[in-house]
Amino acid sequence: MTAIRKGRSGLWRNTLVDISHSFLPSRPFSRQRRSLALKVTQADLYVMTRLLGYVDPSDPCFVAAILTITFNPLFWNVVARWEHKTRQLSRAFRSPYLACYSLGAAILLLNVLRSHCFTQAMLSQPKMESLDNPTAYRMGLVLLGVGSTFVLSSFFALGFTGTFLGDYFGILKEARVTTFPFNVLDNPMYWGSTANYLGWAVMHASPAGLLLTAVVALVYMVAILYEEPFTAQIYQQKASPSHKRS
């Protein structure tokens, strides 16, 4: 197992070195700035290769976790935009509220499946000895508590339809929500969920969980890039004079 882990780590290290070099700026840099950039890259590579040395990316549980993590935001964004364009769900359920509740229920079930796959992926892969201690476990609990606070407070501030893309169904809020946790950070639901997964991974001393958490964060960042401009466009249309006259 150790030999296999070292071989896998070396393969990942070589791949990451090639990728990191491709991201280094091609324009001239001062020697000091280039040296600093290389040191940061080397530090990131050290952390990544150490984590990847514990992970078998071909493990079915790990693959299932990756698929559910990437599929969920894709699903709700595609369905919500399709609904905004066609109103097919609202017509099928004869109510935008029932349609939104149905999509919300589907999203919740998909998130339960994602969490299950995430946990199974952690349990199927080895632990990291340096994280397998009471201090790290308590840190994981803190992260889980913070994440749950952001998720639950976001839900109570937005309500069910506000949380589950009600604005795509024409269920618009009168004003932007500025109470906690939205006065602390943007997209607290997403970052709270990410903190939950990070805390869960730390509590299990799981390198696989840490890597999957990074995937969760990356997928959420991409989702935000697509969701925020589209949501802003919906509310701009609401505020337009032509929309008010109609």
Q: Which residues are annotated as a binding site for S-adenosyl-L-methionine?
A: 145-147, 227-228
DSSP states along 100-169: HHHHHHHHHHHHHHHHHHHHHHHHTSPPPGGG-SHHHHHHHHHHHHHHHHHHHHHHHHHHHHHHTTGGGG
Q: Extract the runs of DSSP E, i.e. beta strands, from the chain.
A: none
CB atoms within 10 A of CB 34: 13
Instruction: Output the CA torsion sign for 87, 93, 98, 101.
Output: negative
- Show the CA angle centred on residue 40, arms to residues 36 and 45, nearest 5°: 145
Q: For residue 188, what are its two tokens?
A: 């607290």
Measuring CA to CA, how many Å separate 75 from each of 2, 71, 116? 39, 6, 18
User: Cis omega before residue 134 (within 30°)?
Assistant: no
User: CA-to-CA distance for 158 and 152, rounded, in angstroms?
Assistant: 10
Q: What is the DSSP letter of 174?
A: S
> Binding site residues, as ranges?
145-147, 227-228
